[in-house]
Amino acid sequence: MIKPAWKHVVIAKIRMQVAALEAHGHAHAPLEMMARKVSSGDSSNLEA
């Protein structure tokens, strides 16, 4: 149950970064793709 919850936390953090980039007129597509690749427990360490 912890790993799926952590996945949602990581995705939310990445999406907040997307929103910040978008607000400042910067490209955000790579982060959008990264958010889709987050696995349960973020074993690939995309959060870093």
- Residue 31: closest CA among 43, 20, 42: 20
pLDDT tens-digit profile of 2-45?
Answer: 888 999 999 999 999 999 999 999 998 899 999 999 988 888 88
DSSP code, position 1 = -
pTM of this prediction exceeds 0.85: no
The answer to whether residues 11 and 2 touch, using CB atoms and an 8 Å cutoff, is no
Is residue 48 scored above 70 in pLDDT? no
User: In Å, how far are 15, 25 from 10, measured between CA atoms?
Assistant: 9, 23
- Which secondary structure element, helix H or strand E, spans residue 26, and what is its range? none
